[in-house]
Structure 1
């Protein structure tokens, strides 16, 4: 036909492909403008784009360097051009957006390093001359919780504190609180035990309200944001301000004239407080006579040196900060000496010793007691002897007493001010000298056929023990063997004893007064031990081998020394000869040079006067020889005798040389 009426779609009845042959006479191409161009006998039809997607919705997590790829499948004639759009803007290739087109009609958009802002709708648009088609794809971006706002808070004790925490994420996280000091958790809608904590949250924001703030609430609080894909935690610090609080319980201090005393005012406060000292409405300054102020963080110390009664009395410490002011009063009182101790008792009285016990005085005079003074003397004597207690112990032991003697004792307490009054005088009498108490013994096996008896010191009856009388025998014998042990010894060694035998022992102590009651003791000597076992029972295998090698080495050394002295052989002889030969060779060489200066063999020289001087090469030094030239003379074996007229005494067979 010479004309066409419109556009043919591949979806029209009777047409299944983009290019169709209508008849053999003519062909045409249909355009949207209803124009018809005669091309050839074949008619080409322009087909609008057809666009499809496999997956329309995608999920991804932000900030994890994830990537998502959208895919569009297009068809149409001519082949459609595919573009990608977001928020009305066409996307261009970049580091974040990668656009690609496959040969089978597929077009892809890859979004790299996905962030929270990348979420939303994306459009795939296919366009050709016959028309265009667009499909939307959706990207859901999940974001881990992140706390964006949390600040430290300062509150005043007793008031209310509000702590705010803001977090973001996709989906929005749930927010909870935790107190670091005890790990207690606070959540929205859940009340705590004391009802002072309340949490309210909405749209990623949570507020923790604390009513009636206490000092125990001071410290760190953690805000925790949690969602199904993760969590985030941040901490803040709750600081609490409060009026000064005095930490000193002592309000009375004691001193005396000329003795300095420190009155300490200790304060805890936030913010730090300034402290002033006052006395009778007058402020004490650094230049106040006989008073000095020492300051440190949270402490002010007033040093007072009383010079008269006017310096004793009331002193006031004032602490102030911007929250409030507090006062504390101190009293400086005059100290006194302690009162007297009482209930003095004597115990454990013996011939030489006595123990004094007593009770502390009712008053220490305002100054701590330094020690107790115990005085004692013999009845009738005027000289008191002093014994000081160790620190403030109320028990003192008196030593060096005389037996069978009556003594008087009294006690006084001493503090910084001085010595207090003495207690009532108590009398006691030491015991008379008597025989010693029976000795106490304990035994242990000694080395070999010996047994060691330990002697425990006991009551000596007032006089030193002179000796111990030790008697011992076997259980089958009647006759006792006696051993005397000096009283200063603390053991007795019994030996020699019999193996595999039971022994009976009787021990008596003696002093100048007499003998003690005997103490009886029994012990059993074991069987005779095996020599090898006794020697090596305590040694390991390695130690035994080492001892054996050591013994063998010692034996070899003894044999070598014997050979050296008796037979002049052995390793020691070889070493001696080696050392001596070096020394002999050196000395012999020097001696030979001295004695051989006159012995030369003159070669090629018939007249001595015409011979070259010494040192010329044709002069050759030779050793001395006998006339027959057979045997060299040994200078160290020549014996020379001289007559009274200085002439040599020679024998017929002596060498002429």
Structure 2
């Protein structure tokens, strides 16, 4: 079937014989072009691998690597399962693949302080839930209580001052603790070639701690992520070049400081349709024929003279 921007060939396999090599040929009055592709049966993804776990008193951030094999179709969601050591029942939560894959982190909540847990991950695609990863153990941190105020009985008595004596009040610290930065604001400017873009990074609140770098990931929708780009903290833009023609892309940018990563800023754009090349053979031949005709006429005129 056709759309204003592309033509599609939809294949619905009925048996194993429908999988294999297909050849698609496009023909017009100038010539033809062929492309061969392979139709394979989709499979469930392999398991993600857990790199490390950053535990807190009631939450934990699980950093992971994406599955080595997606099964031939995009990953849709990730499933985290966790339980305290000694328990039989696993608790679970689903995470959107776009957000989880962008940062490579999922956060589990509702944990008890000073408790040892096991956590494992699995990926879900259109075929189904893939293999579960090996469990990784961690121990949550204790709850840090603020120091108790000094009791009146243990304080040193202060004599009453004369009326003409003043006591300076101590200065109170008002500095807020540093935190993760805010996500940058993104603005795009398409290149003149039609398949490149300049994405401007507009810095927002740094959370009270200098930004160390920006992490950029992008891909065409329904395609694999391109390798992550790490930009210095002073960068104000990133150039994405040699993009697919007439394709919708998404870009995620994360700012990171000493305290951690910001939420991901999201930006979507579409590249232009590939320009149609104008054949030069007809015009070139016409010019050549005209030149030869004029030259032959000149030679004939000389012979007649």
Q: Which gives a bigger RCO, structure 1 or 2 (Cα 8 Å, sep 6+)?
A: 2
TM-score by length of 1: 0.23
Query: 1 or 2, which has the higher strand percentage?
Result: 1
TM-score normalised by length of structure 2: 0.47
